[in-house]
Amino acid sequence: MTDKTANTMWGGRFAAGPDAIMEAINASIGFDQRMAAQDIAGSRAHAAMLGAVGIISPNDADTIREGLLTVLSEIEGGTFQFSTALEDIHMNVEARLKEVIGEPAGRLHTGRSRNDQVATDFKLWVRDQFDAAESGLLALIDALLAQAEAGADWVMPGFTHLQTAQPVTWGHHMMAYVEMLGRDLSRVRDARARMNESPLGAAALAGTSFPIDRDMTAQALGFDRPAANSLDAVSDRDFALEFLGVASICAMHLSRFAEELVIWSSAQFRFVTLSDRFSTGSSIMPQKKNPDAAELIRAKVGRIMGANVGLMMVMKGLPLAYSKDMQEDKEQVFDAADNWMLALAAMEGMVRDMTANRESLAAAAGAGFSTATDLADWLVRVLGMPFRDAHHVTGSLVAMAEAKGCDLPDLTLSDMQSVHGDITNAVFDVLGVQNSVNSRMSYGGTAPAQVRAQAERWRELLK
């Protein structure tokens, strides 16, 4: 299509086409063509409404709707010729529609503006991404639940400050991420429900004098209701910001898990073995098996959070209603969505394929004086000692074991009684890591019974 064709889309206001620089900065078709399906869906709903209320003839409405399907098939088939001279997906579609059906195409834009059109398209696209994120989260949670159920009683070290703290179970650690991602799932659903109002019919900013039926178009497009204020409808990008906010939090959770997988799969830990499908080798070191998928997931949060900050900066100083600045909303959201979906899919694949090395986990669980808290608790519970005193006695026994080069269960009873004479042989019942985790029966604790109960609860929630 030529500049002359583009000018006719605007009417007679501009006698000459924009120069190359203006065309380049003004055009968005290079990226907003991704919204072609949403744009055509919105136009088909709008045309059906115009015909139903008598603003255009039913015949014209049907012709427009059929012509739009032809345009969509060309786009999906890869034969559609996009033009930067026509700026965006809306004008490209409308121009091609006129070539396909002729004069009736000019009636499509009655009672609407590109302002409400782009807001509608973008909302529909983001809504689809929320649905995709929900599916990705559900699949990942299911994979984590399978790991938790398989290893509900496998002991491993729990860490604080990346230092051995107390024994936990593999299942308990997996369930921690289920809880995190469950909150992400809740945020996805909550944000999707809040955004589900239709901007279509708000027109440029003030509504329209045509007797349109906004409830009809909202229902046709799966919205709960029309947006209640036309100024807000065309200027709102909260839905995109919420999408990026939810994506940023979730990507941060994925990054934390990815960091653990990088550490756990190292030769120094050997807690997990990642499958070959999600690992790579080294070009010069034949022994290497690099957790590249985890490392790349760890990096995705930078791009996603960067998009969040970027769009916030675009929107922060804009007066109502629409400003061309808002054309800068889409590329960042598109990139963030692509990377979020990829990270979710890659993490699900890694979790399903990874193997927990039970023997390495158990050996590490018993090292580093991980049952010291159990010893202190026993002194309080059995001997009636104030916890601060018990903490001091336990610290002295840890120092003794460290000096002897052994762990707490390896101390003799006489060793322990040299620090506190009332300690009995019963103390050894709490010093094993399996006894330790089995005793943590408080709600949400690491005891295998608690892990299985929480996994069952999540299975019910997700039905």
CA distances to 92, 150, 253 from 157, rounded to whole Å, are 59, 17, 20
CA distance 451 to 463: 19
Give the up-direction half-sphere exposure of residue 403: CA atoms within 13 A in the CB hemisphere.
7
CA distance 441 to 3: 73
Q: Out of 73, 186, 275, 282, pick the active-site residue.
A: 282
Which tokens hold the place of 247? 């994506």
Whether 333 and 240 have beta carbons less than 8 Å apart is answered as: yes
Do the strands 197-198 and 272-273 form a parallel or antiparallel pair, or are they unpaired?
unpaired
Of 362, 347, 374, residue with least CA distance to 429: 374
Q: Out of 161, 209, 283, 442, pick the active-site residue.
A: 161
CA distance 218 to 197: 7
Of 214, 252, 212, residue with least CA distance to 233: 214
* 198: β partners: 226
CA distances to 336, 345, 347, 348 from 278, rounded to whole Å, are 22, 11, 9, 11
CA distance 194 to 243: 11
What amino acid is encoded at 50 in this protein?
Answer: L
Please state at what angle helix 114-150 crosses helix 330-353, rounded to 10 degrees: 10
Based on the residue annotation, tell me whether 392 is a catalytic residue of this protein.
no
Do the strands 163-169 and 197-198 form a parallel or antiparallel pair, or are they unpaired?
unpaired
Q: DSSP alpha helices (H): ranges in 78-204?
A: 89-101, 114-150, 170-195
CA distances to 10, 86, 395, 411 from 16, rounded to whole Å, are 11, 14, 84, 91
Based on the residue annotation, tell me whether 230 is a catalytic residue of this protein.
no
DSSP string, 198-226: E-TT-TTTT--SS---HHHHHHHTT-SEE
- Catalytic annotation, residues: 161, 282
